[in-house]
Structure 1
Amino acid sequence: MQTHDIPQFWLNTFTVELSSASPHLYGNSRQQAELRLTVEVNAGQLPLTPAQLASLTLVLERPDGTYDQLPHSGGSGLAWWQTTERDPDFDLMPGANRTGALSPPPATAVSKMMYVSTSQPGGSNVKLRARIQKDENTVYYTDDANGFDSYVTITTVRPPYFGESDYEWQKTYDRGSVNNVFLHEYSLRLKHVGLSPRSTLVTPGMIRWHINHSTETYATFVGMARPGDSTIIYDTLIDTGPVFEPATRAQTQGRDSLILVLNGADNIPFNREGLAQGGPCEVVLVDRHGNDHTVRLSFAESESALERRTKVQVSYPSHRSLDALNP
């Protein structure tokens, strides 16, 4: 659709601005960049109709100067999308050069916040402009041809490397005796960025008996609680017998931590099928920036039967690069 009148007769202000603290974005399909679209009609003009406000949206500028409207969900060929909904499970990208605070728009202006995500790998960039439809035949863009040259450039960056020193692993709760019945909890967190509740418990639990014998009843049954949730999840395929009752809620407050729970019990009958469920537990942690971290939690391998079922350890496979997943 083409415009045949002068945009400034209708609009006094028409802008798109970055309201995130950084123009960078991880291309993990989760993190969002926040943009503010602002429109102000001239004095004497009718206020924006609901249809006009609904048409206020973001478009992607192609190298040849044409525009593609960003879809409102992922999975399109553009690999970029927009939404009016802020995802509370993930943080916007922090930035060193901006406060993220914009000047208030004119009192008579109307603003809309839009959130952009992408699956594009690091090093990609996109130029975004705003679009509004005045009527059936008239569409305006924030470009020079319409007299409102306003755009935002977003650049994707590679996820940082995370090594063992970037994690904190500590015992946070200790009740009972390892020689009898006990409840231990451990917390695993990232030191410099929080964890999202979107973390995936690939293998949520494991079990190990004191000795592998048909009369054994001493065992340690392991489960875990996702970041931000105290509900303990176990591997429901593990047979713990008719009497044993594991803890259901973690004692440790773990808003930004994965909580590993060890139930030391004296009433779990040995079963040979359980030997295949001795771990490790695999977890895909998702940080507040939307990046994945695959870790494994396992029983310690030592000569002491007691230590083999009361001590746990963490291994940190290499950080999952989303660039590798999206070549």
Structure 2
Amino acid sequence: MPNFHTDPALWLETFKVELTSASANLYGNGRQQSQIRLTVELQTGQPPLTEAQQKSLKLVLERDDGTYEPLPFEGANALLWAQTSVKDERYDLMPGSGTQAPIAPDTARAFSKVMYVTTRAAGGANAKLRAMIQKDERTTYYTDNESGFDSYVILSTITPPTFSEGDYVWVRSYERGNINNVFLHEYKLQLKGLGLSSPTQTIAPGMIRWQRNEPSETYATYVGMAYPGTDKTVHYESAIKTGNTFVPARQANTPGNDALVLVLNGADNINFYSDGLDYGGPCSVKVTDRHGNEHILSFAFASEGSDLERRSKIVVSYS
């Protein structure tokens, strides 16, 4: 508990913590962040905050018994709730009815710090967060009744939604060449109303299927994927042998940063080999959306139709 050697009001004029996200809710996926601002303003005549005092300004979790636990910083020691001063640009803050207040510039008397909180707590959990600051090694103040600066933020977790096929858009986004010979097709997979973000695990980045499984066959479709984001590099299964003459697409042509792009290289110069049948699919990846929730996406060649249709049509599975 705090140790008051002096009245904190003699040192501080303002000491508060406030929610600056539009919502006090967030998903308990350990990725989505909630934004909280901590502010102190010194009494007139007080010397500016030292670097150590500024560093000590952080969030604490109020336990059920009224004691405080410093909120761990993200990393190895982070448990259910964690804080960081770094905004993860891969994910959006939760939208809501609130408005984000502008952050005033620091002055000789006023100092503020923006912290971002994540959690892995299941839906329905709450966290009551206060701010702390250390005036010196023996004196710690909290934003509570005892200090005279009572303020706190309560964050609540919500259960991630369950996604199904109707939540996605799957369309051909680029095509070039002759479907009966050499072609390049791209398909993009988007999440309706919310963009996809970075992958969390690539289970199998690519696959291949020949027109016919015969030693003389050279017609095949070699599949890879470009992950959501600005990097359009196409990732393939490196164990697949495609020979020395075939050159696959290295960059996706489909514009935009919020979709997963599947790239189909229709080729006439990939020699069939029996071990290549082990890489006939599906190819799968785990990606996150802009709220940090995870999606498992699998892509397989069609199992019905002509030989050409079975290597040029894709079936998508969602989970």
Give the structure-2-normalised TM-score: 0.96
**What stretches of structure 1 move > 3 A for 4+ residues in a row?**
74-78, 102-108
| Structure 1 residues 102-181: aligned runs within 5 Å | 104=104, 108-181=109-182
Q: Which amino acid aligns with 2:273?
A: N
Change (3 A) 1:77 1:256: closer
Report the Cα distance in structure 1 between the residues aligned to 2:198 and 2:243, rounded to whole angstroms: 31
Alignment gaps of 5+ in structure 1: 318-327
Q: CA deviation at 1:197?
A: 2.2
Root mean square deviation of aligned Cα: 1.5
Letter in 2 for 1:250: A
User: Could you report, residue by residue, the CA deviation over 1:66-105 in whole angstroms, capped at 9, with x for unpaired residues?
Assistant: 000011124447411111111111111111x212225758
The answer as to whether partners of 1:230 and 1:254 remain within 8 angstroms in 2 is no
The one of 281, 291, 294 equivalent to 2:293 is: 291
Superposition deviation, residue 201 in structure 1: 2.4
Tell me if structure 2 keeps the 8 A contact 1:21–1:93: yes
For residue 29 of structure 1, report the CA deviation from its aligned partner. 0.8
Rounded to whole Å, the distance in 1 between the matches of 2:106 and 2:148 is 18
- State the shift of 1:285 in Å: 1.8
Distance 2:120 2:75 in 1: 8
Q: Which moved more, 1:106-115 or 1:63-72?
A: 106-115
Q: 1:22, 1:100 within 8 Å by CA — same for their partners in 2?
A: no
Q: 1:238 maps to what in 2? A: 240
Q: Percent identity?
A: 57
Q: Judging changes above 3 Å, is the alpha-carbon distance between structure 1 residues 179 and 103 closer, same or farther for their aligned structure 2 residues?
A: closer
Counterpart of 2:265 (choices 257, 260, 263) is 263
Question: Which residue is equivalent to 2:98?
Answer: 98
Q: Tell me the secondary structure at the aligned position of residue 145 of structure 1.
A: coil
**Matching residue's letter, 1:218:** Y
Name the count of aligned residue pairs: 316
Partner of 1:251: 253
CA contact (8 A) 1:230 1:253 kept: no
Provide the rounded CA distance (Å) in 1 between the counterparts of 2:178 and 2:90: 38
CA gap of 1:62–1:235, structure 2 versus 1, over 3 A, is same
Change (3 A) 1:184 1:131: same
Structure 2: give runs of 5+ residues left out of the alignment: none
Q: Give 1:301 shift.
A: 1.2
- In structure 2, relative to structure 1, the CA distance for the partners of 1:105 and 1:231 (3 Å cut) is closer
Q: How far did 1:2 drift?
A: 1.3
Contact 1:199–1:226 (Cα < 8 Å) also in 2: no
What are the superposed Cα offsets for residues 184-218 of structure 1, whole Å, 9 maximum, x if unpaired? Answer: 00000101111112343211000000000000000
Distance 1:206 1:161 in 2: 28
CA distance in 1, matches of 2:82, 2:245: 51
- Greater mean alpha carbon deviation, residues 104-113 or residues 199-208: 104-113
Displacement of 1:47: 1.1
How far apart, CA to CA, are the structure 1 residues paired with 2:289 and 2:222? 27
1:288-320 per-residue CA deviation (whole Å, 9 max, x = no partner) reads 111001111111111310100111121112xxx
Give the Å deviation of 1:177.
Answer: 0.8
The match for 1:20 is 21
Rate the CA distance shift 1:184–1:106 in 2: closer, same or farther, 3 A: closer
Aligned-residue offset at 1:51? 0.8
Q: Secondary structure of 1:198's partner?
A: strand
- Identify if the C-alpha distance between structure 1 residues 53 and 277 changes in structure 2 by more than 3 Å, giving closer, same or farther: same
The residue matched to 2:198 in structure 1 has which SS?
A: coil
The alpha-carbon distance between structure 1 residues 231 and 103, as it changes in their structure 2 partners (threshold 3 A), is: closer
Preserved contact between residue 24 and residue 156 of structure 2 (Cα < 8 Å): yes
Q: Are the counterparts in 1 of residues 25 and 157 from structure 2 also a CA contact under 8 Å? A: yes
- Verify the 8 A CA contact 2:199 2:286 in the aligned structure 1: no
Give distance in 2, aligned partners of 1:150 and 1:137: 22
| Alpha-carbon distance in structure 1 between the residues aligned to 2:181 and 2:254 | 22
Distance verdict in 2 for CA 1:238–1:78, change over 3 Å: closer
Q: How does 1:72-87 map to 2 (within 5 A)?
A: 72-76=73-77, 78-87=79-88
Is residue 2:208 matched to residue 1:196?
no
Q: What one-letter code is carried by the residue in structure 1 that aligns with 2:46?
A: Q
